[in-house]
């Protein structure tokens, strides 16, 4: 565990490797994208300004081959799957700030490769391809821990053009029937890895706080991205935190294209609400594998159902209850229990985004809402529960519509009187020497920009200048 310290807080720059659009998106992709969307959401909940980029690989060997098989243009094929990808992101409530496409950044890619050639990190072959020379970058292999220099000679897939077996193509000379662009090295097209270095630099600048992707991308993709970026940008580390989401399993086997056991999203959507799928994808620690089963989805369906019922119940209660002016011991206990679930939720996510633990905190909160809050006629307690549920939704993203807008207070009740009420309740807690709880309230208000000052007679409050940054 280490402290999260982005390069320039409160900004967090996030880049996630997106989809190669030669086939329909499947649940393996969905897991990666849902996980990183929720990581982004959690950071935003904690006050960071996150910029989130997820690229689209629309030129690639697989796309060209498939388009040729089907006798269609590569662009036409890519468009079909880009449409599918975008629709799925929408259904799963994944929000991306920028979706750069490779085909729209060819000039930038050429400029980037030129620098690598000028600096002696890349070489041009007779055929007009350009390769990155891994021996020119002494940190190669450190990210994945996958290779050592002694192994170089043993590597089997030695291509005759390369100087070292791990050298990889930055620019591929055009073969007949392939799309091509003019370049200083002749007609050709970019290799795969270079696009992410180029597009992340274009959208996020020379340093990236979080770079994400599925576990299968660590080597060679991320290892290569890192090598070429650090060589061009003269920064080290280029990426502060590398995060890799775990794989999906089915009946004890890894879900993979080669085993032919991948479940398509299309099939899944026929039976399950996308919100159920989203919640299920967030039911394990992001780095661990996640086992697919109908039962586990059924379990997520039950949680979603309870979640939606709880949010409706609390909204209704808030609308019908009069503002509270006092609070009983029993009610304090309920607030305390809600606070405990919130602390558990934050602890789970602050410690390496443990979504499994965060979901168990959510279940506890739902339990408290149905067993206790539903019988309480104190608006302060209900609002507290509502806020807690809303915070959890900020991360899980399953009921954004239900939580649109702020607390559903009838018009006419001012923010001032609401804060007065909270401060009053806190004073009551202090009188009863419940200092830990009163401190929590002070802290939570402070996060919202409301500062309390305890004076002899009473507590005063004021609204601070907008302060968005909170450290995790």
Cβ at position 53, least distance to Zn ion in Å = 10
Q: CA separation (Å) from 206 to 36, 127, 199, 416, 456?
A: 21, 31, 11, 44, 52
In this structure, how many other beta carbons lie within 10 angstroms of the beta carbon of residue 95?
14
Tally Cβ neighbours within 10 Å of residue 155: 12
Q: What span, in angstroms and rounded, lies between the C-alpha atoms of 385 and 403?
A: 13
Stretch that binds Zn ion, among 9-17, 59-67, 329-337, 430-438 (CB under 5 A): 9-17
Question: Which residue stretch of 39-47, 165-173, 190-198, 369-377 sits at the interface with Zn ion (rule: CB under 5 A)?
Answer: 190-198
Closer of 207 and 278 to Zn ion (Cβ):
207
How far apart CA 82 and CA 103 sit, in angstroms, is 13
* Strand ranges, E, within 236-307: 239-245, 248-250, 253-254, 290-292
* Terminal C-alpha separation, the chain: 13
Angle of helix 294-320 relative to helix 274-281, nearest 10 degrees, comes to: 110
Q: Which is nearer to Zn ion, 237 or 323 (CB)?
A: 237
Query: What is the closest distance, in whole angstroms, from the C-beta atom of residue 194 to Zn ion in the complex?
Result: 10
Stretch in the footprint of Zn ion (CB under 5 A) among 17-25, 173-181, 363-371, 428-436: 17-25
Query: Which CB sits closer to Zn ion, 17 or 77?
Result: 17
User: How many residues of this chain interact with Zn ion, rule: CB under 5 A?
Assistant: 2
Q: How far is the CB of 246 from Zn ion (least distance, A)?
A: 18
Only segment of 91-99, 188-196, 283-291, 340-348 that touches Zn ion (CB under 5 A): 188-196
Tokens 């990808």: give the residue. 85
Given the complex with Zn ion, which of 102 and 445 has the nearer CB atom? 102
Query: Shortest distance, CB of residue 245 to Zn ion, whole angstroms?
Result: 13
| Minimum CB–partner distance for residue 51 and Zn ion (Å) | 17
User: Measured from the CB atom, is 57 or 378 closer to Zn ion?
Assistant: 57
Under rule CB under 5 A, which residues in 347-386 are in contact with Zn ion?
none
| CA–CA gap between residue 307 and residue 288 (Å, rounded) | 25
Listed ranges 14-22, 88-96, 138-146, 353-361: which one lies at the site for Zn ion (CB under 5 A): 14-22
Q: How far is CA 255 from CA 219, 221, 268, 364, in A?
A: 18, 20, 15, 32
Among 96, 196, 310, 362, binds Zn ion (CB under 5 A): 196
Q: How far is the CB of 99 from Zn ion (least distance, A)?
A: 13
CB of 470 to Zn ion, least distance (A): 30
Q: Closest approach of Cβ 38 to Zn ion, in Å?
A: 20
**How far apart (Å, rounded) are the C-alpha atoms in residues 357 and 333?**
23
- Under rule CB under 5 A, residue 243 binds Zn ion: no
- Choose one: 110-118, 179-187, 192-200, 353-361; the region binding Zn ion (CB under 5 A): 192-200
Torsion angle of the four alpha carbons 128, 130, 133, 139, in this order, in degrees rounded to the nearest 10: -170
**Shortest Cβ distance from residue 65 to Zn ion (Å)?**
20
Q: Helix H segments across 187-293?
A: 194-204, 223-233, 265-271, 274-281
**Selected binder of Zn ion within 12, 14, 16, 17 (CB under 5 A):** 17
Give the integer Cα–Cα distance in Å for 33 and 245: 9
Q: With the CA atoms of 78, 81, 85 and 87 taken in that order, what torsion angle do they form, in degrees rounded to the nearest 10?
A: 120
Of 12-20, 27-35, 339-347, 447-455, the window that binds Zn ion (rule: CB under 5 A) is 12-20
* Nearer residue to Zn ion within complex by CB, 169 or 196: 196
Q: Report the site for Zn ion in 407-466 (rule: CB under 5 A).
A: none
CB closer to Zn ion out of 100 and 397: 100
- For the CB of residue 431, give the shortest distance to Zn ion in the complex, in Å: 57
Nearer to Zn ion, 17 or 421 (CB): 17
Question: By CB neighbour count within 10 A (0-12 exposed, 13-18 middle, 19+ buried), where does 129 fall?
Answer: buried
> Least Å distance between CB 143 and Zn ion?
13
Tell me whether residue 219 or residue 269 sits nearer to Zn ion (CB atom). Answer: 219
For residue 431, the surrounding DSSP H or E stretch is: helix 415-431
Cβ proximity to Zn ion: between 19 and 196 the closer is 196
CA distances from 209 to 47, 112, 113, 221, 353 (A): 15, 21, 23, 18, 16
Q: Which is nearer to Zn ion, 17 or 324 (CB)?
A: 17
- The number of C-alpha atoms within 13 Å of 51 and in the hemisphere containing its C-beta is 16
Interatomic CA distance for residues 194 and 168, integer angstroms? 10
- Binding residues for Zn ion, rule: CB under 5 A, are 17, 196
């Amino acid at each position: 565990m280490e402290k999260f310290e982005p390069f320039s807080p409160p900004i967090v720059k996030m880049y996630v490797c997106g989809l190669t659009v030669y086939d329909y998106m499947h649940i393996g992709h969905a897991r990666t994208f849902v996980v990183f969307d929720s990581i982004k959401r959690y950071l935003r909940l904690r006050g960071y300004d996150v910029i989130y980029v997820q690229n689209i690989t629309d030129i690639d060997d697989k796309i060209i081959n498939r388009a040729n098989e089907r006798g269609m243009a590569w662009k036409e094929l890519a468009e079909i799957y880009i449409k599918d990808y975008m629709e799925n992101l929408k259904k799963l409530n994944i929000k991306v700030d920028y979706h750069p496409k490779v085909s729209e950044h060819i000039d930038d890619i050429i400029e980037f490769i030129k620098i690598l050639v000028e600096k002696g990190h890349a070489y041009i072959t007779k055929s007009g391809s350009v390769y990155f020379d891994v021996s020119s970058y002494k940190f190669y292999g450190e990210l994945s821990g996958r290779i050592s220099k002694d192994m170089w000679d043993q590597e089997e897939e030695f291509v005759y053009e390369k100087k070292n077996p791990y050298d990889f193509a930055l620019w591929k000379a055009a073969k007949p029937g392939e799309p091509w662009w003019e370049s200083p090295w002749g007609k050709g097209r970019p290799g795969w890895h270079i696009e992410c270095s180029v597009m992340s630099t274009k959208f996020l600048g020379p340093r990236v706080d979080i770079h994400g992707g599925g576990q299968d991308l660590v080597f060679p993709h991320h290892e290569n991205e890192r090598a070429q970026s650090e060589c061009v940008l003269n920064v080290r580390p280029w990426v502060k935190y590398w995060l890799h989401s775990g794989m999906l399993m089915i009946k004890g086997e890894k879900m993979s294209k080669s085993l032919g056991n991948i479940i398509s999203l299309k099939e899944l959507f026929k039976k399950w609400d996308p919100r159920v799928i989203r919640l299920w994808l967030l039911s394990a620690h992001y780095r661990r594998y996640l086992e697919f089963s109908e039962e586990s989805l059924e379990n997520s369906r039950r949680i979603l159902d309870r979640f939606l019922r709880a949010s409706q119940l609390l909204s209704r209660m808030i609308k019908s209850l009069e503002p509270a002016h006092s609070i009983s011991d029993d009610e304090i206990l309920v607030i305390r229990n809600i606070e405990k679930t919130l602390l558990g939720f934050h602890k789970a996510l602050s410690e390496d985004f443990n979504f499994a633990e965060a979901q168990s905190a959510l279940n506890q909160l739902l339990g408290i809402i149905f067993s206790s809050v539903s019988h309480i006629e104190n608006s302060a307690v209900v609002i507290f529960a509502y806020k807690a549920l809303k915070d959890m939704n900020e991360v899980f993203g399953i009921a954004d519509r239900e939580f649109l807008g702020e607390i559903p207070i009838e018009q006419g009740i001012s923010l001032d009187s609401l804060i007065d009420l909270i401060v009053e309740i806190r004073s009551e807690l202090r009188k009863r020497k419940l200092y830990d709880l009163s401190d929590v309230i002070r802290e939570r208000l402070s996060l919202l920009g409301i500062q309390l000052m305890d004076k002899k007679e009473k507590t005063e409050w004021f609204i601070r200048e907008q302060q968005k940054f909170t450290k995790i």
